Structure formats: structure tokens, C-alpha cells
Amino acid sequence: MRGDKDLLDALYDAVIAGNVQEARKIAEQTVQRGLSINAALEKMKDAMRAVDEKYERKEYFIVDVASSASAMREAFKILEPHLQVDSAKVVGKVVIGSLKGNVQGLGKDIVAATLRAAGLDVVDLGVDVSPKAFVDATVKEKAQIVAISISIEETVPLLKEVVNMLRKRKLSGKIKTIIGGQAVSEKTCKEYDVDAYAKDAWECVKKVQQLLKDIS
């Protein structure tokens, strides 16, 4: 029988290998043993970073990356209901999605699930979402926060459109913006006049809760 650390290492290996059945089985064992779900998610994120590096070095092809993403997604489905986040009293609604040109949704899925676990109402628009679709959905849903995931650097300038549309509709103070993903940083936040940047899902929860307090 694997020890706790060995089990998490095996989850890492299963994601890198793109072994969907093994990843699902290990995720189930993680839950049964009462291990830290956050630690399991961190292991899977580390695995996907390693997969990205393999792809950049041309050791992996698109099909390999897709297999690894499938393994992570299946394991995540089992882990998601057991996510535990400190729920604050401030509740609100968040519209989330990956910006146009970004078709990788794993990081965004984790953030959405973590926000839900913290008691927030989350509307997930999916991937490849245009600036107009973000703003329209935020208005339609009467959401206070728009959360944008960006993993491809070339698409970062589209943030300007989101911010400008909110400004034109006189919604800048009423709707707050937050960004995350490997293509953005605190610097991006200042450059595009975005309200907040979060480096991971758990920081996103804290920042969103703070932004909601700033609105009310």
C-alpha cells in the first residue's frame, strides 16, 4: 500500500503519463484517506507545468498534452466536491472565463471550483471568450466581479477592450475585474487598469472577497 506522499507522487506521474483511469483511481484513494485536496491539486498543477515544459522542448506533442489534461480533469472531478476553503460572510457573483484565444481551461476550472467552495455564485463562460461576451454576461447576470484567465501572452492586449467597455457603460466602480494565468502578473494589472491579480485559486478567493467589500 502506498504511503501518503507516494500516493500524491503517483498522481503526479499519472497526469504526466496521461493515464486517465490511474489518475481517477488515485484521486478516489486521496479522498478516502482524507488527504489534503489542496495538496493533490498542487501536485496536478506541478504535473501540468512539467507537461508544458516537455511540449516546449518538443518531447511531447499536442496529443500528449491533451491526454495529460484529460487525466487531470477526471481526477479533478472527483476531488472538486471535497475542496475546502474558508468561506467569508461576504457573498457575491462572479463571471469567469478564459479570454479569447485561450483554449486551455484547466486553471480556470480550478479557480471556478475554489470560488464556489468559498460560497460564491459562479457563472463559468468557458474558454475563448470575447471581451464583449465577458461584459454582456456580467451585466446580464448582475455579477459584481469579472474574472479573466489568460495563459497566452499575445491575447493580453484584449484586456483593454474589457476595461474600456466597462468604463463606457459607467460600470467601472460597480463591477470589479480580476485576472490570473501564466501570461499575466501584477505588472499587467497596473498596465491595463485591472482591479486585481491572483497568482492561484486560493489567492483569487481572498482577492475577490476583498473586491466585494470595496464595492459594498
- Give one word for 155, left, alpha or beta, with left for phi > 0 and alpha for psi -120 to 50: alpha
Spans of the chain below 50 pLDDT? none
CA distances from 191 to 147, 196, 208, 209 (A): 17, 12, 20, 23
Residue at grid coordinates 495529460 = 68
* Paired residues of 148 in beta bridges: 97, 179
State residue 44's pLDDT score.
87
Are residues 16 and 50 in contact, defined by beta-carbon separation less than 8 angstroms?
yes
Phi, psi of 51 (to 5 degrees): -65, -45
| 86-112 pLDDT tens trace | 655 557 999 999 999 988 787 888 888
State residue 143's pLDDT score.
96
State residue 5's pLDDT score.
82
State residue 72's pLDDT score.
86
State residue 81's pLDDT score.
86
| 29-47 pLDDT tens trace | 999 999 998 889 889 888 8
State residue 1's pLDDT score.
60
Report all structural domains of the chain as residue ranges with CATH numbers, in order of start. 4-82 (1.10.1240.10), 93-215 (3.40.50.280)
Are residues 14 and 23 in contact, defined by beta-carbon separation less than 8 angstroms?
yes
State residue 157's pLDDT score.
97
State residue 86's pLDDT score.
60
